[in-house]
Amino acid sequence: MKFFRILGRSIRDAFKSVGRNFSLSLASISCIIITLVIVAMSIVVSYNVENISNVLREDLTIVAFVSNDADEFVVKKLKLDIEDISNVDKVTFKDKSEIKNEMMKEDEAFENAMKTWDEEENPLQHTYLVKVKDIEEITETATAIKNLDGIDVVKYGEGMVDQLITVFKVAERASIIAVIALVLMTMFLIVNTIKLTIFSRKREISIMRLVGASNFAIKLPFVVEGMILGFLGSILPVIGMIYGYKTLYTYFGGKFFTDIIKLVRPEPFIYYAALIVVGIGILVGMLGSSRAVRKYLKV
Amino acid sequence: MEFIKFNGVTKQYKNGVVAIYDLNLSIEKGDFCYIIGGSGSGKSTLIKMLYREEKPTRGEIILGGLKVNKLRNSSVYKLRRKLGVVFQDYRLLPKSNVYENVAFALEAIGLKKRDIRPKVLKAIELVGLKSKLRDYPDNLSGGEQQRVAIARAIVNEPKLLICDEPTGNLDPVMSMEIVKLLEEINKKEGTTVIMVTHDKTIVNKRKKHVIALKEGHLFKDYKKGEYIDEIL
């Protein structure tokens, strides 16, 4: 009970103090807002990148065209050889007549051109559709397949995949660096805000010490103040993130320019992300104020 | 019965100054004791060591059976709950009224609101400020402000009241009123009172136990009723 009384008093004092040092509090809150906006964007981007990578992993297929010179034995042996490659997940064979039929169904022009082809005349090639386990090693896997006897050509959208992976990685690293730099800057500002509060309440603190308030009771209001600053700073980024992402999702119809890049559904993802942003705000505020209390509050 | 005991206490500050040198003294429970001495005699250091604002370099301080010098920093608050301290400059919260200033001492140690009110009212009544409950320090005279500080110091019913030159900022009439108030607290509540002062007139008029310090040494320990004539 005593703990809750001290906590209640600390919360009351912390709110008073935020109001008393309003300009510095506002500076801290503004800095937290900027930090958390970047954090929120990073969370949204990295979760979507993760999602896109997963989708790509599921959708991306290496198409290996079997040479028309290969006999039936070579074609069958190729399946085993491809399956032996360590990064290969699943191998599916497609007969060239099956491909012809599918193409004829897709387009009338194809149908007119292909309907007269018999087995001998069909210039299409048997193909193996190969799924990989690790998308980042797709180039090596494709090369290994291409080197097999009986494989003519291998296609997997090589340029695009490599570029996408590079862009995602750069975006992820840049956002992590920006977040760390901003978190440090925010903590520095919070330390200074709390330092000012400590100085403005010097008399109060000295009386508290004299009358026998515990160190915990003396320190708590300042730590709570840091947490309040963090919480207040997280409100705008969270609102911006929830409405911004929902609007973006609706505007793009759930995908980002192409069908390959599908956005994560806003619910419940965005609410979990909001909780993380609020949590980070409070944590940064708490760490900043704890540091100031350790440094400037001699109790 | 010995309530406070200094056994061979020496205090040397970090800059090398020795404020107290090999001090031995004792104060009885329920005593009213003046500590007198010139500037730099070690009066303030002595009382600071009592409420563990300073630690002795050597020797032992015992307060109500508790070895003050052995207390860990994290436990100092337990000692301070058993004593009250009053300063020359009152140290009141300017934005809080009389009631709030006194109640602050109990809020800070986490007392329940319903327990705080009767204790605060009792302390304020004892110092004679019942009619000024809602007044702010700026609207009070020096003597009244010191009364608020005394009320705050005694509100938790301490065993020991330490007063560091409480009359230093007051005129002779007000000073005497404050001294009488402290004596009343000493008598009514049985609180041991230690008062540091420069004012020899007060000391001689009241004829209490007096400890005189000079350059960090115990100059003389006057028993109750003795007349102080030395110029310190």
Write out A224-273 in H/E/C secondary structure. HHHHHHHHHHHHHHHHHHHHHHHHHHHHCCCECCCCCCECCCHHHHHHHH
Token pair listed for B170: 């007051």
The whole-angstrom separation of Cα B186 and Cα B163 is: 12
DSSP A293: H
Residue A93's nearest CA partner among A73, A79, A72 is A79
Q: How many CB atoms lie within 10 A of CB B29?
A: 14
**Which residues of chain B have a CB within 8 Å of the CB of A209?**
77, 80
Q: Does the beta-carbon distance from B109 to A211 stay under 8 Å?
A: yes
Measured in angstroms, the CA of B227 and the nearest CA of chain A are apart by: 34
> Residue ranges of the domains in chain A?
2-56+162-296, 61-155
A89 CA to centre of own chain: 25
**Best mutation target, A5, A211, A216, A299, to test chain B (most B CBs within 10 A):** A211
A19 touches B: beta carbon within 8 Å: no
Size of interface A-B (CB pairs under 8 A): 55
Report the residue of chain A nearest B81, measured CA to CA: A212
Burial of B128 (0-12, 13-18, 19+ CB in 10 A): middle
Residue B159's nearest CA partner among B1, B30, B62, B6 is B30
Report the residue of chain A nearest B96, measured CA to CA: A204
A211 touches B: beta carbon within 8 Å: yes
**Which residues of chain B have a CB within 8 Å of the CB of A219?**
none
The whole-angstrom separation of Cα A37 and Cα A261 is: 23
Structure confidence by residue, pLDDT tens digits, B167-193 = 888 888 889 989 999 999 999 889 999
Structure confidence by residue, pLDDT tens digits, A198-236 = 777 788 888 888 888 888 888 888 888 889 988 999 999
Percent of chain A past pLDDT 70, that is, above it, reads 94
CA dihedral (A249, A250, A256, A262) positive or negative: positive
Token pair listed for B68: 């003050």
pTM equals 0.67
Cis peptide before A268 (omega within 30 of 0): yes
Q: How many CB atoms lie within 10 A of CB B145?
A: 22
State residue A103's pLDDT score.
Answer: 83
Structure confidence by residue, pLDDT tens digits, B91-129 = 998 888 999 999 989 988 888 888 999 999 999 999 999
Residues sharing a CB contact under 8 Å with residue A102, sequence separation 6 or more, in sequence order: none
Q: Does the beta-carbon distance from B110 to A217 stay under 8 Å?
A: yes
Residues facing B5 on adjacent strands: B26, B62
**Which residues of chain B have a CB within 8 Å of the CB of A213?**
77, 108-109
Nearest Cβ partner for B110 among A5, A203, A204: A5
A155 neighbors A63 (Cβ within 8 angstroms): yes
How many CA within 13 A on the CB side of residue A87? 16
The whole-angstrom separation of Cα B183 and Cα B190 is: 10
Nearest Cβ partner for A213 among B74, B79, B109: B109
Measured in angstroms, the CA of B44 and the nearest CA of chain A are apart by: 15
Measured in angstroms, the CA of B194 and the nearest CA of chain A are apart by: 16
Q: What angle do CA B31, B34, B38 make, to 5 degrees?
A: 160
Does residue B60 have a pLDDT over 90?
yes
The whole-angstrom separation of Cα B148 and Cα A143 is: 88
Fold held by A61-155: Alpha-Beta Plaits (3.30.70)
Report the residue of chain A nearest B74, measured CA to CA: A215
pLDDT band at B86 (very low <50, low <70, confident <90, very high): very high
